Amino acid sequence: MFITIEYRKEDEEKCLSTIKQALQVLGGKWSFLVLTQLYIGPQRFNQLRKQLGDINTKSLTDTLRHLEQNEVIQRTVFPTVPVTVEYSLTEKGRDFQAVLLEMYNWGHKWGEQQD
């Protein structure tokens, strides 16, 4: 059974506008991978860097700052010597899990085409 939806121009513009807003909140390509790692649980900077593999320090720092500024992740500083900083998801970040799961499903289905 197929459902047909009648689109109007203003609906299309609202849809594109909303998608653009979501992409601006998330930032660059690393954001998706950082969020995926943080779904496992809170992590420190070096843990994330090791898990992500080929990300450089500046890119990870910029990504974490962007996600924190947009309230997708939170940064918690523990008063240890040296200082320990841990990153975790906010409610806003946890709410994105369904999108990542669908990206996983799509990638699993279409990512590696077999000839």
pLDDT in tens, 92-108: 999 999 888 888 898 88
pLDDT in tens, 2-36: 566 666 777 777 788 888 888 887 888 899 999 99
Q: Tell me, what's the pLDDT at 21?
A: 81
**Torsion over CA: 71, 100, 112, 37 (sign):** positive
Structure tokens at 53: 């593999």
Mean predicted confidence (pLDDT) in 60-64? 96
User: What is the reported pTM?
Assistant: 0.79
Mean pLDDT of 51-60: 94
Return left, alpha or beta for 53; rule: phi > 0 is left, psi -120 to 50 is alpha, else beta.
left
The ranges assigned to domains in the chain are 30-105
The CATH number of 30-105 is 1.10.10.10
